[in-house]
Amino acid sequence: MTKFILLAVTAAALAAPAFAGDPAAGEGTFKKCKACHSVIGADGTEIQKGGRTGPNLYGVIGRAVASDPDFAYGDSLAALGATGAVWDEASLAAYVADPAAYLKQALGDDAAKSKMSFKLSSGGEDVAAYLASVAP
């Protein structure tokens, strides 16, 4: 029985998606995001000074989608947030790679759109790992 449990646990661990972004690389890649986003701690500390076109990304990993009360989200992202979806590193990396495609897939709605037109063609995993590393 113990051998069976060990085999089951090993199989489950191997089946789990591995996510291995590099926070140090993500800090550098975040420079592309700073035109629209900042990372400002709850106490007002500026971790990354940036634009205000997009929401503050402090604590985004683990936060409910479209939940920053100081930002007006687009309809599709708000609809995803209404489902109870929460950002994790993998979902954020997928979103920044192609926001509209991510929303279409996540909502099952080919008409879904994103206000974020920028696509981060590479390094999304690293940016997500960086944002996770500066979270509360």
- The domain spans of the chain are 2-133
Rounded Cα distance between 117 and 120, Å, is: 10
How confident is the model over 36-81, as pLDDT tens digits? 999 999 999 999 999 989 999 999 999 999 999 989 999 999 999 9
Measure the CA dihedral 131/105/20/85, to 10°.
Answer: 50
Q: Which of helix, strand or coil describes residue 128?
A: helix
How confident is the model over 16-40, as pLDDT tens digits? 445 579 999 999 999 999 999 999 9
Q: pTM above 0.85?
A: no
Q: Looking at domain 2-133, does it have CATH number 1.10.760.10?
A: yes
CA 90 and chain centroid, separation? 7
Nearest 5°: phi and psi at 46? -85, 105
